[in-house]
Amino acid sequence: MAQPLLGYTYFPTLWPGINAGISNQTSASTLDATGEKAAIIFKIPADGNITKLGFRTSTVTTGDTLKVGLYTVDASGDPTATAYKGMVAGTQAILATEDNTYFNVTLGTQATSVVKDDIVALVIEYDSYVAGNMVITGLGSTNTAFVGIPYGDLYTTLWTKQNSLFFATIEYTGGVYYPTLGIFPVASGGASSIAYNVNTATFDEYGIHINIPVPARAVGIWVILAVAVGADFEAILYEGTTALKTITHDGDYAVSTIARPFFLFFPTTQDLTANTDYYIAIRPTTVNSVTFYFFTAPSVAAAAQFHGGAGAYRVKRLDQGAWTTSETTIIGQMGIILDAFSDGVGGGGMPILRGSVVGG
């Protein structure tokens, strides 16, 4: 039986930390002297053992060896020098040629029996400074809606909290990742965008795959797009390649050509069957382009850090043909809007997210 919500929810979640298109920062978290450190302060997402920590470089002017580890946090909210849960930091040699490269560093000793919701610091520093000069890259501060926690921290002569976070991954025993809101698992290549229109010869429709493990009721689609003047488009919900709902949008109805959220509602609701593959996509209907945003995760497993393993990966196609999928290409700025779930009790009616509705 359908149980309506008091309002709406989103799947995948409307991600905190983005207010426009995803872009890479190029200057924050610069390490170029003895004693400098970059950190993310965050809450442990799940009980277990943490074995690896990942990060991504931007510009590497001079290579050196970095040390990566988990540490406790003091009363001021800054990292201490005390290892968390028996952790021994791992090291990673960075070459001067390794710009824009993702590294997944095995800890010298894993952090054992970590506790969900413990506040810790992921710290990157020089193992023993020689001549390094490099940037640890992340989400650009101009594209970040400030969040309380997680947050960045940078030590040059003292710890200074940052408005932006570097890209990072937290891997548990067995190669498992858990949703960690605000920390983006971005691999080599970083954050990207694609501008396309009705005449684009490669792919003229982009969207995401979704699969919800309980019956639910959909009322619309949310998406963050940059829309050129006059770029009309359709937002479509599909089962396979069959369109279930279509919303048309006039591209002149936009306050700016800079990326902004659009909340697009169906004329009538659509029941979604549990454990069924659906697709939501944006298809331009003019030669004026829309711009769609995505990033590449290090692996299918690591993608779960972003959206809870929901399989909300990118799909694309040309001329309404077959879908081309990429399970490590993540659309962080698009999802289905829901207003009801089934309680599993009688009544038929609504024929209910691999992952979490509001947690990722």
**Architecture per CATH, 2-18+192-342:** Sandwich (2.60)
Domain assignments of the chain as residue spans, ordered by start:
2-18+192-342, 30-183
Per-residue pLDDT, 350: 45
Sorted by sequence, the CB contacts under 8 Å of residue 106 that are 6+ apart come out as 51, 52, 90
d(Cα 3, Cα 340) in Å, to the nearest integer?
Answer: 5
Q: What is the mean pLDDT of residues 333-354?
A: 67
The residue among 75, 73, 70, 137 whose CA lies nearest residue 107 is 70
Residue type for position 143? N
Sorted by sequence, the CB contacts under 8 Å of residue 239 that are 6+ apart come out as 276, 277, 278, 279
Q: Token pair of 48, please?
A: 């277990």
- Confidence band for 186, pLDDT divided at 50, 70 and 90: confident
- 3-state secondary structure labels for all residues of 131-174: CCEEEECEECHHHCCCCCCCEEEEECCCEEEECCCECEEEEECC
User: Kind and range of the H or E element at 338?
Assistant: strand 334-342
DSSP 166: B
Average pLDDT value for the chain: 87
DSSP 306: H
Q: What is the mean pLDDT of residues 23-51?
A: 87
pLDDT surpassing 80 at residue 259: no
Q: Token pair of 156, please?
A: 């040059």
- Confidence band for 1, pLDDT divided at 50, 70 and 90: low
2-18+192-342 matches 30-183 in fold: yes
Q: Token pair of 159, please?
A: 């710890």
Question: What is the fold of 30-183?
Answer: Jelly Rolls (2.60.120)
Q: Which residue has the tokens 């993310």?
A: 40
pTM comes to 0.86
d(Cα 330, Cα 29) in Å, to the nearest integer?
Answer: 24
Q: What is the mean pLDDT of residues 341-358?
A: 50
